[in-house]
Amino acid sequence: MKVTKTDIEGVLIIEPRLFNDARGYFFESYNRKNYEEAGITADFVQDNESCSTRGVMRGLHFQRPPYAQAKLVRCVKGKVLDVAVDIRKGSPTYGQHVAVELSEENHRQFFIPRGFAHGFAVLSDTAVFQYKCDNYYHPEADGGISIQDDTLGIDWQIDPTEALLSEKDTKHPLLKDFDSPFILKEK
């Protein structure tokens, strides 16, 4: 597998090695040993899947400590723009984001460490999105920042007037009004 570091430390793009022949393709979507060698040591305990239609935007979500989650995400059908925003107080990249297109064609995966808000926009007619989490979901720990915050500089590739958002996602604060529960720990 090919692992690409991004401009934000810890956020990684993973491209698995595909084996193609006349029958189709095969690849390992997860192999703990290979991921640990790449520096991803998260102990994944929960897998989730969502199906969404074109124009759906989900996020920007996170779980507050002590229930914070690292995620390994991928799109198994269709195409999404996936985004991670650094929300760690004291981080030199606080408020910055990494965006990557994930699709059934490119088979990319995106690793998002704890301390990041995560969201995606559906760019195809439908998209099936899967993610592994290293902590269990706790509804009382739900948090988010506004997916429509223009100051984040994210080009969602969707007309904002046509975006489909949940009621919950329309109520998240802008980054400037947000008091992050995450603090960057010195190494």
Catalytic residue annotation: 61, 131
**Rounded Cα gap, residues 77 and 87, in angstroms:** 29
DSSP codes, 122-161: E-SSEEEEEEEESS---GGGEEE--TT-GGG----SS-GG
**Rounded Cα gap, residues 72 and 132, in angstroms:** 5
**Rounded Cα gap, residues 89 and 28, in angstroms:** 35
How distant is the alpha carbon of residue 53 from its chain centre? 18
**What type of residue sits at position 101?**
E
**Rounded Cα gap, residues 80 and 57, in angstroms:** 9
Question: Residue 34: which H helix or E strand, with range?
Answer: helix 32-37
Answer for the pair 98, 84: CB distance below 8 angstroms, yes or no: yes
Helix (H, G, I), strand (E, B) or coil at 35: helix
